[in-house]
Chain A
Amino acid sequence: MDDYKFLFKVVLIGEAGVGKTCLVRRFCQGVFPIGQAATIGVDFLIKNLEINGDKIKLQIWDTAGQERFRTITQSYYRSANAIIIVYDVSNQPSFDRLPEWLRELKQHINEKVVVILVGNKCDLTEGREIPYHIGESFAQRHNMKFIETSAKESANVEQIFQELSTTLLKQANQIFETNRKDTKTLKNDIQSNKIYNCC
């Protein structure tokens, strides 16, 4: 089960209703949840992948609804290896808020973190408000990769995570060795019985 070389934390952001949860559910579980119910009690989903023979594990974090009133906690971004910014191609305001999301990101992450821009709901050809090339050039301007997806029709969803994982894997040794060397994760309570013994 825990047979993997690297674990990456991937974090989703973007306006409410752009389909962040649907993307993750589609990718990790192959389902497209119908309706708008917020997922209660779920922090992140896990997906195991194999890239060029290396087994990796993605921990994909959702916003827990805290994007609604812009109250995402800083710790949500801590130790993230990659960020996926999502907007809805059929919803201009969700695209217009991107600069604000980028500003927020700049405060919390360093330049090593991989950022990818995703225009979701590309199946809605009639309702489309953001043409492909507008999204693409925005991404280029801000040095991000760009993909259009449809969680509903499962188009390109795999590709986001394949793309991310390949880049992350390349960086992996560097990030892991410099950043996470001796921080204490409280889960690993291995030495719990070793107390201050006498001579």
Chain B
Amino acid sequence: MSDLPKDYDIIIVGTGLTESILAGALARIGKSVLHIDRNQFYGGEFASHTLNNLMEWSDKIKRYPDIENDREQNDKSCFKKCNNDLGKYYTEIEYSFSDLETQDKLLKLSRKFTLDLTPNIFYSRGQLIELLISSDVAKYCEFKMVSQILTLDRDGNVQKVPTSRSEVFKSNKLGMLEKRSMMQFVQAVLKDDNFNELIEPEQLQTISFRQLISNKKFPQIINDYLINAVAMCPNEKDNALKGLNDTKKFLTSVGRFGDSPFLYSMYGAGELPQCFCRMSAVFGAIYYLDMTIDKFHINSENRIESITTKNDKEEFKFNCKNLIIDSSYAPIDYFKSIDNLISHCILITDKTIYKNDDGLDHISLLFLPKMKDTDIYMIETSYASNCSPQGYFVVYLFCRNTRKTSRENFEKCIETFFNIGELDENKPNVLFSCFYSHIDSDYFVHELDKISNRPNNLHFVSGCQPKLDFDHHVEQAKKIFNDICPNDEFMPKPPDPEDIIFGDETENKNEISKETNQNETSE
């Protein structure tokens, strides 16, 4: 440990997506970065787990209130004790197997499952994908197309929504007239940013997208496609501008990498923070997992000057100019009970929810508006993304919590698609299920930022939101980056490894002696 430097420009606590993007961006421009996480694994709230690890993770959180109960009061403001009780952040965790035999079978395959705590899919023209390309972090990851965009029709049947022009024309669900009116709408959306052909400018924010579509007098099936599967803006509060922008994002994403607008990360979304961390490490950031922030020290100018961290063996002190922390580590006396929760459900099943004739494994998206009183996103992955063994499927459901328990949010949805109670051999069986909720940390960070005596070099980062894509995290990372380094470029493309020319030996020696000097002084 003695070789760990003491002074950093920036210390980042938590390896979730926003923190990892920031680590990459800051190390890239030459800042000294220490990046730590309380867990032994990367990703925090964004991690992907094997089946065994997911169970371990939930058992650990359920135990939290017992093992971590040192509510040390911060009487003086010279230091703040940070939260390390995940039980304050996650609630209502439960998991179960359908029966013992299945449990044995699945646990033998545990390592072949990659289960995302924060599953998501990405628009081919969304901010995350653009950032991966522009920063060249894309070289660390691989993607698969989300090959089926599904919707539930009025009769309760699952249907595949045509996404590309050729799919629209091949569709046997649409008549010639319907095809024409759909394509005309598409053309008008793509034409300009003000959507002049579709709507009067003053109406953009005053009428809902749903209203706009119904004004167009499309056949019902087109209405449903556009509102529920393309724009995914079914609510009265989703105005026309939002709906049209989301439609546009969907349409422009089609064709970039394939017929579908969405990509899914191979081996799960938990890969993404790690890719940014790798980039950060390549540019010199130091990584230490299984170490947590215990408290931070504030000087007379209301700035954090150092932090104390600990693992199960030792305690360390590091100095920093800026501190970025995931809100789940926020100081204990900043923690409030937050009613806004986001709920998740992970299912392992034995069949797909939509059997395609091609016999291939697919990745599917199904948006379920107004399931009870919340909108649910459903993502089904399979062997196609290396996230499950062949013959098994992983279904993720997430939504804003509106019920008492995590499970209640999803009960109706699970009954609709899966074999519960009466046997229907066409429906998939649920072999394993896991439910959990956590604080809407975006809301929480908003609350934290309002705290008046908050040190001015302390930056809080929030976790996932119940919506598609990770744009939110890219925006958040850019904002914090600009606060810290207003004059630097955000993640410029690094030189191609094939183009790097190393200096000759003498130049090397100079560089090295400089480096060793630095090492000596820091020790």
Contact = CB atoms under 8 A, between A and B. Distances in A.
Nearest to B274: A73
Interface in A15-67: 25, 29, 31, 33-38, 40-46, 64-66
B133 A189 contact: yes
Given A35-B515, A183-B144, A195 B254 contact: yes
Contact of A41 (B256, B283, B287, B498): B283
Given A195-B254, A196-B254, A43 B284 contact: no
Interface of A: 25, 29, 31, 33-38, 40-46, 64-66, 68-71, 73-76, 78-79, 107, 182-187, 189, 191-192, 194-199
B140 interface: yes
B183 A198 contact: yes
A93 to B, nearest CB: 15
A73 B515 CA distance: 26
Interface in B159-184: 163-165, 169, 179-180, 183-184
A59 to B, nearest CB: 8
B287 A66 contact: yes
A195 B190 CA distance: 9
Interface residues of B, number: 63
Contacts of A68: 3, 286
B357 interface: no
Interface in B239-281: 251-252, 254-258, 263, 266-267, 271, 274-275, 277-278, 281
Contacts of B140: 75, 78
B353 to A, nearest CB: 22
B42 A73 contact: yes
Contact of B281 (A44, A64, A107, A185): A64
Given A107-B111, A198-B186, A42 B282 contact: yes
B500 A69 contact: no
B154 interface: no
A199 B186 CA distance: 10
Given A185-B138, A192-B256, 7 more contacts: A31-B508, A34-B505, A41-B500, A74-B271, A79-B142, A184-B142, A186-B138
B361 to A, nearest CB: 11
B509 interface: yes
Contacts of A70: 289
Interface in B178-227: 179-180, 183-184, 186-187, 190
Contact of B282 (A64, A75, A79, A189): A64
B494 interface: yes
Contacts of B509: 34-35
B516 interface: yes
A75 B255 contact: no
B494 A75 contact: no
A184 B190 contact: no
4 residue pairs, one from A and one from B, having the closest CB atoms? A35-B512, A198-B187, A186-B138, A73-B274
Contacts of B169: 199
Contact of B497 (A44, A182, A198): A44
B272 to A, nearest CB: 9
B505 A75 contact: no
15 contacts: A35-B515, A37-B512, A41-B500, A74-B274, A75-B271, A75-B275, A182-B144, A184-B263, A186-B132, A187-B138, A195-B252, A195-B255, A195-B256, A196-B165, A196-B186
B512 A34 contact: yes
A12 to B, nearest CB: 14
Interface of B is mostly: helix
A31 B256 contact: no
B129 interface: yes
B318 interface: no
Contacts of B257: 184, 186, 189, 191
A36 B516 contact: yes
B133 A186 contact: yes
Given A107-B111, A184-B142, A187-B139, A196 B288 contact: no
B143 interface: yes
The residue in B133, B179, B287, B515 that gathers the most chain A C-beta atoms within 10 A of its C-beta is: B287
Interface in B503-517: 505, 508-509, 511-513, 515-516
A194 B142 contact: no
B495 interface: yes
Contacts of B515: 35-38
Given A35-B512, A46-B498, A196-B251, A191 B256 contact: yes
A168 B42 CA distance: 31
A199 B266 CA distance: 34
Nearest to A45: B497
B124 to A, nearest CB: 9
B257 to A, nearest CB: 5
Contact of B275 (A34, A45, A73): A73
A27 to B, nearest CB: 13
B23 to A, nearest CB: 12
B144 A184 contact: yes
B107 interface: no
A52 B140 CA distance: 31
Contacts of B502: 25, 29, 31
A189 B271 CA distance: 21
Interface string B131-154: 011000011111111000000000
A188 B94 CA distance: 42
B279 to A, nearest CB: 8
Given A34-B512, A184-B142, A195-B252, A76 B133 contact: no
Contacts of A196: 163-165, 186, 190, 251-252, 254-255
Contacts of B139: 43, 187
A46 B499 CA distance: 10
Contacts of A25: 502
A71 B286 CA distance: 9
Contacts of A184: 142-145, 257-258, 263
Nearest to B261: A196
Nearest to B281: A64
Contact of A189 (B145, B256, B263): B256
